Structure 1
């Protein structure tokens, strides 16, 4: 017992214990990383060919800002771990590559076709686990529109307007109108949080709730305004301005008519 006690007090015992702890921690991290990458690859159903072609496209079109291996530069952030959904949204809506530097990337005609966008998504997804492309069952518009409207007003209307007409933010930024945006891109925006938008992961808004929100947005796209002219669906500001201008115009016209009659 005395010999064992002396060995435990050896000066190198603490170093050996520290090395053992680092080896165990590193091994567990490597296993978890490999499992996450495998799960992401399975979820997205990308092929090795998609990843290889996506790497070529990335090197030719994206590496200038995001760096080789998407590790990031002073001109663009790292894309490791952003997932396929982020790439599909940014590239599919034409926001990337950016047309010019500014407070926000504008939507424009996409530079890449669907196949190339899928390949770029495959390459970035291979670099680290992140939000995957949404399943088609979540984009079918078959959710609960009433519940989706309630969720939208609670979580989204403060920026996008209750009618999804968009709105201004600070420092030249804005929340875009959602009319005409595809269901796929709406879902991807919720799970990735592009630009100034917060991320609504499955813990915040479940996939079924996201489906309900998309159903609501698609419903109001096809529903006419029961009150007549929408006036941009911007609410009381636009309506008050219209009444002020129209009312003032009527008063001025009546005044001109009245003075012309007296003369």
Structure 2
């Protein structure tokens, strides 16, 4: 007969304000008892701060991600794409989703989903956005590729922005500019939380209600072949009017980050 000591792992989540006096005490206790922990910091904003923002960056969370894009027959123009990372490729065809994957099943759980930073919305939300006459926005059809490779049109719509903002100000924080693609400086950017996006005042001239960033954040797999490519597209950057529509529709699965306007 042998005696065994049962080991039990307990995960505890603690949320504290960064200025909470209990935070350094907690960190000292964790160190004293040699407990491993992960620390994640983020900014939280009030409705008043969103309303006052000149523009708001829309970041999708992983919970509402669906698979689609170049590997599923979506067509792109590669004439201005970076040969090293693919940044700058322009979608020219209908957006295609993987109709066989498990993520497509989750469409009914959300009002809006993301696919490598593309935003796809259900029909009622698409109609609300269309009625709002948002500058710079158009809505495109979305298809799902079936196992027999036959495309099936969905009632969802892809958001399309006609305007791209200039590059971010280097005074943005939480962004690893050194991680950028060495060829174009546009793709492969990494960020850490809390990220704070900043633009020069002059860069906001001509901004629409719906825009795209110039930069591409996130993982890249690119060798020039669309059939194997994985490339996250630039984030959407919108006015408070758009944020309000999504909020009132009860949309979840996205993080909204007001930009900062800085001088030279």
- The interval holding the TM-score normalised by the smaller chain is under 0.3
TM normalised by structure 1 equals: 0.22
Structure holding more helix per residue? 1
TM normalised by structure 2 equals: 0.22
Structure holding more strand per residue? 2
More contact order relative to length (CA 8 Å, sep ≥ 6): 2
Whose radius of gyration is greater, 1 or 2?
1
